[in-house]
Structure 1
Amino acid sequence: MLHREPLQEIAEEQVRAFEQDGAVCLRGMFSADWLAALAEDIERDKAEPGPMVRRNTPPGKPGEFFVDFQLWRRWPNCRRFVFDSPAAAIAARMLSATEVVYYHDHLLVKEPGTEECTPWHHDQPYYPVDGWQVGSIWLPLDPVDRATCVEYVAGSHRWGRWFRPRYFNRATSELAVSDDRFEDMPDIDAERPRHRFLAWDLAPGDCIFFHGLTVHGAPGNRSASRRRRAYATRWLGEDARYATRSQISPPILEHGLQRGDPMACALFPPVWPRAARAKELS
């Protein structure tokens, strides 16, 4: 059954943990039916990827680090996930938002044997978005052990720092995204004794909710047999505003927004409250 509400209630302690640490694990939020529906579209996308696809594994290397965006614009189950899954309710609760806009999706598949890591970064500098209510749901479709999980630097969203965005493929250069706040990402691995790190063993149906400014990275997938398919979706609360930045990632254009505008538009649809969405479609 493709249920619309989270299978588990989100406790106030979990909201506080997110606000304090910038990332929290939410257990058992999505049914097997939702995961199966997404898996179907993910395989479709791998066979027929979109124009923003990136393959971050060099030729001749083992495995595959496959990245694509905007599946919800092409595949029906991903679109249903945006409007009819528990995700919008989860985002509203975690962001303490009365209104939620859907920004985009991001598919990250690390096939067995993939060596490529996801470098340390945080997401919001990649986006033309200012505001505090910016969050993501990282939803794995496969069991993930802590050694393969995304790792988050606890509290880094509250550092008041914006780090210069880079492509995940280390052979390519930084994105030419201009913002006076940007600085180079420090060597997080060298600074490990100074920080607290968050990662979890995850079962299908679990997800991670994290802030747009939380620094995170991920190892490769050294498993010989287990895939690591993750469907990440981005959500914005009512304080999010359009910010003019060049060479954003993903390059979602033709939205018609001007600096300072609320983000809601045809490309970034309002999804919460559901009644407002239904009224817009009627």
Structure 2
Amino acid sequence: MTTPPPDSPAPRYEPLRGLALWGEEEKAAALEVLESRSLFRYYGPAPLHRVDAFEERFAALAGAPHAVAVSSGTAALTCALIGLGIPEGAEVIVPAATFLGCVNAVVAARGVPVFADIDESLTLDPTAWEHLVTDRTFAVMPVHLHQAAADLDPVLAVQLERLPPMLRRLRDIARTVRADLADLGLRWRPLPDEEGSGGDLTLLLDDRMAARRLVTALTAAGVPAGTLYQGRLVHQNPAVRTGRTPWGTGWQAPGRLRASEAILGRSVTVGLGAAMTDDDVAHLAKSLRAAVTGAPGE
């Protein structure tokens, strides 16, 4: 809302929406929590479990099986992106007119915002974002702006129905490559549920040096490959290694988890894409065979 100049007359009402209805009932509810001295949902001398009750009621109102309350809309978007598994550097298409928190959420989730035009509804133009979709696109984030919902039908019709064939294609690629290289006796990452995976090609080598050599050979052949997290376990990350959260809670740093270090360090994951052609798949299989056997590739 634009701030009026200093000499403007006072507004006849404050467009505060929900806050405009704040009355004695809301004051009493807030005071009840304060007086309980249990300001956090999980602990305190007398937790009232108000957040739990709110989540249950909101879930019922929205017709959802569950709801999770967070601190802000920005936090909700960040949680959603991370919960959906956004890879680092993936792109998220957002409308050019939206609250800054939408972009902040993408950045906080280590994504890259891509901006699309709006239409006269002030929400995402359904015809203006399709050309922005690339193989790096992870999500489209329509924003419901100022009490008006964005038109979701075109968005759900471009991506949702494409998900099952995309997953089938990725799984087919993985199966094809593994079958093509079956004679090499390679050790693949075991998958508890083949049909529940998103398509995966991860090899387990004899040691870290073998994994590095394979990554180097595949990269030289134009095949995206790497060792997950560069072979570093989560507690070896500097943000975790200090053994203390930003708010001061400490924990005992674990010792060497040598089994996990060995498994992760000797793993090599090969990137797959749903848009890969049969020629791409054949090149991948040939490149893998050449890199593993040391034979010159074709």
Instruction: Check whether TM > 0.5.
Output: no
**Which structure features the higher share of strand residues?**
1
With normalisation by structure 1, the TM-score equals 0.21
**Which structure features the higher share of helix residues?**
2
Structure number with the bigger relative contact order (C-alpha 8 A, sep ≥ 6) is 1
> Which structure's CA Rg is the greater one?
2
